[in-house]
Amino acid sequence: MALGPALWLGALLLASLGGASAPASLLRRLGEHMRRFQESSVLGQSPGPGVAARPREGWLEQPLDPFNASDQRSFLQRYWISDQHWARRDGPVFLHLGGEGSLGPGSVMRGHPAALAPALGALVIGLEHRFYGLSIPAGGLNMAQLRFLSSRHALADVVSARLALSRLHNVSSSSRWVCFGGSYAGSLAAWARLKFPHLLFAAVASSAPVRAVLDFSAYNEVVSRSLTNTAIGGSPECRAAVSTAFAEVERRLRAGEEARTALRAELGACSSLGRAEDREELLGALQALVGGAVQYDGQAGAPLSVRQLCGLLLEGRRNGSRPVPYHGLRRAVQVVMHSLGQRCLSFSRAETLAQLRVTEPQVSGVGDRQWLYQTCTEFGFYVTCEDPTCPFSRLPALPSQLELCEQVFGLSTWSTVQAVAQTNSYYGGQTPVATQVLFVNGDMDPWHVLSVTQDLGPSVSALLIPNASHCLDMAPEQPSDTPSLRLGRQSILQQLQTWLKLAKKSLVRGGV
């Protein structure tokens, strides 16, 4: 594995999901920063033993509205292809689906598709999601255009790409196409197999939140539980310290202008805390920082692991002095801001709204406007702290997050409620009636509670990896990998080998 594991995190953090408020944007900023670092490092390597050959970039002309044959408008969708391990024309094709961000050459150089390709002689293709990265249709991101952005449109692109790429690259009609994806793209992989089993042979869906939900309070339930997990450096004392630190921040926010000014300086905040909405956003940003330590725990390159975060919050306990969790939280903010290369912690609601209302494509952006639109019109996924065991502030509450849909797109809360229900009705939520789908999750990942974690039948399998975080199974192998993670990766290979062997036998017998 030529690419250092620290460089992989960008691809994973880019799939951080969540809404597009300032708190949720914290991880997305980090993901974009590290993805750029990853891509420049990958492309700067010289081919040699163990180093993947440089993948090729391609473009497909796709219909803007695949559900209206009379609409002749189209756009160019980017893809990446690597035939380094493609042994024969009828070998399998691994299709790595992009999610809510740009997709670079790393999509065919690392992750499950590239790692499994040598053993199975596969052609590897990475397909960027419409309206993200460089696959944005002409006309920008106004509401008239965004109505062509949805998971259903993305699946239509997968079908069109599957047919076009077979012709372009002379793929045998007997080749088996397997979809891969992580996070939202993992859901797409599972749904592609669910809806188009005659075109897509199987799917590996990592950390795939297939159940849409408006109020995702369960996210912080997992975060709270994970902060007490001694196997990853947590403890009941750590969770209590988090709660104490947030209570101190809230106390200072309520204590008047002088206390808020001091808090702003101590946390390195970019703007004042005079507005109630900005105070909510600050609490949300701090919550995202702690949640991110859990969501990406143990992944090389992450700014904070649970062990490191707890160490900061409980600093001083070892030498007998009393730890001050608030000071540890301040240190944690500094660590993350340093990794981002940012001078200060941004949380202005007005600034967030201004950025989300920009309809011109942002080449260097991570698709915040587009992803917010998808959460408003399909998924919800708004992380809240409603449960009594939640260690954070109760703010920002669900209504303030839903207000973004109204303020940015003019979409009512009721329309989002209906959209979430329709998504689950269309795909089946956590009980999709599919075959040959493998769902892979880590039990520390807050998103696993929206995925499939138990077998649904003989050909819909679930793999739940103990103490593993979001999409950790997709990361390159490293010496610190746990035995359960290594076993999980072996199970993925074995499952694909089993399915492909059965298909080959069926073909020999004259089956489909």
- Condensed to tens digits (0 to 9), the pLDDT of residues 450-487 reads 999 999 988 899 999 999 999 999 988 888 899 999 99
Distinct helix (H) and strand (E) counts, the chain: 17, 10
What CATH code is carried by the domain that includes residue 384?
1.20.120.980
pLDDT at 43: 52
445 is a catalytic site residue: yes
3-class secondary structure per residue, 361-396: CCCCCCCHHHHHHHHHHHHEEECCCCCCCCCCCCCC
pLDDT at 12: 37
Judge contact between 305 and 232, C-beta under 8 A.
Answer: yes
The 10 Å Cβ neighbour count of residue 84 is 18
pLDDT at 475: 85
Looking at residues 375-388, what average pLDDT do you find?
92
* 229 assigned to some structural domain: yes
Alpha-carbon torsion, ordered 274, 280, 284, 286, to 10 deg: 40
> Which of the pair, 6 or 455, is modelled with greater confidence?
455
Residues 327, 264: Cα–Cα separation, whole Å = 13
Catalytic residue from among 25, 102, 135, 183: 183
Q: Give Cβ neighbours of residue 126 (< 8 Å, ≥ 6 apart).
A: 55, 79, 80, 81, 96, 98, 103, 105, 107, 108, 113
Residue 2's pLDDT band (cuts 50, 70, 90): very low
- Condensed to tens digits (0 to 9), the pLDDT of residues 109-128 reads 888 899 999 999 999 999 99
Residues 420, 180: Cα–Cα separation, whole Å = 24
Residues 87, 496: Cα–Cα separation, whole Å = 17
Looking at residues 203-226, what average pLDDT do you find?
96
Are 85 and 187 members of one domain? yes
User: Is 50 exceeded by the pLDDT of residue 10?
Assistant: no
- Condensed to tens digits (0 to 9), the pLDDT of residues 340-367 reads 788 888 778 898 899 899 999 876 557 8
* 15 assigned to some structural domain: no
Domain count, the chain: 2
Tell me the residue type at 300.
A
The mean pLDDT value of the chain amounts to 87
Looking at residues 503-510, what average pLDDT do you find?
66
Q: Give Cβ neighbours of residue 373 (< 8 Å, ≥ 6 apart).
A: 146, 149, 409
Range of the domain at 317: 214-422
Are 415 and 471 members of one domain? no
User: Is 70 exceeded by the pLDDT of residue 46?
Assistant: no
Are 418 and 456 members of one domain? no
Are 241 and 358 members of one domain? yes
Radius of gyration of the chain (CA): 23
Residue 394's pLDDT band (cuts 50, 70, 90): confident
Looking at residues 415-427, what average pLDDT do you find?
98
Are 344 and 487 members of one domain? no
Q: Comparing 33-47, 458-472, 487-501, which segment has the lowest mean pLDDT?
A: 33-47
User: Is 60 exceeded by the pLDDT of residue 4?
Assistant: no
Residue 38's pLDDT band (cuts 50, 70, 90): very low
Are 113 and 232 members of one domain? no
Are 257 and 385 members of one domain? yes
271 is a catalytic site residue: no
Pick the closest to residue 232 from 19, 51, 49, 485 (CA basis): 485
Angle at 161 between CA 156 and CA 165, to 5 degrees: 165
Are 385 and 462 members of one domain? no
Q: What percent of the chain has pLDDT over 90?
A: 66
Are 204 and 249 members of one domain? no
pLDDT at 504: 78
Are 199 and 339 members of one domain? no
Looking at residues 61-78, what average pLDDT do you find?
96
- Condensed to tens digits (0 to 9), the pLDDT of residues 440-450 reads 999 999 999 99
* 21 assigned to some structural domain: no
* 33 assigned to some structural domain: no
pLDDT at 9: 34
Looking at residues 220-226, what average pLDDT do you find?
95
* 20 assigned to some structural domain: no
Domain boundary among 374, 398, 422: 422
Phi, psi torsion values for 393, nearest 5 degrees: -75, 155
What CATH code is carried by the domain that includes residue 81?
3.40.50.1820
Judge contact between 172 and 90, C-beta under 8 A.
Answer: yes
Looking at residues 192-217, what average pLDDT do you find?
97
User: Is 80 exceeded by the pLDDT of residue 22?
Assistant: no
User: Is 70 exceeded by the pLDDT of residue 35?
Assistant: no
341 CB-contact burial (10 Å; exposed 0-12 / middle 13-18 / buried 19+): exposed
User: Is 50 exceeded by the pLDDT of residue 7?
Assistant: no
- Condensed to tens digits (0 to 9), the pLDDT of residues 166-181 reads 999 999 999 999 999 9
* 475 assigned to some structural domain: yes
278 is a catalytic site residue: no
Residue 509's pLDDT band (cuts 50, 70, 90): low
pLDDT at 18: 53
pLDDT at 138: 92
Domain boundary among 377, 397, 422: 422
Residues 210, 107: Cα–Cα separation, whole Å = 22
User: Is 50 exceeded by the pLDDT of residue 34?
Assistant: no
Catalytic residue from among 445, 448, 451, 473: 445
pLDDT at 510: 54
Are 240 and 386 members of one domain? yes
Catalytic residue from among 129, 305, 470, 473: 470
* 47 assigned to some structural domain: no
Looking at residues 159-165, what average pLDDT do you find?
97
Q: Could you tell me whether strands 93-97 and 123-127 are parallel, antiparallel, or unpaired per DSSP bridges?
A: parallel
Domain boundary among 370, 398, 422: 422
* 9 assigned to some structural domain: no
| Residue 433 three-state SS | coil
User: Is 60 exceeded by the pLDDT of residue 424?
Assistant: yes
pLDDT at 107: 87
Are 123 and 261 members of one domain? no
User: Is 70 exceeded by the pLDDT of residue 296?
Assistant: yes
Secondary structure letter of residue 203 according to DSSP: E
Phi-psi region of 428 (alpha: psi -120 to 50; beta: other; left: phi over 0): left
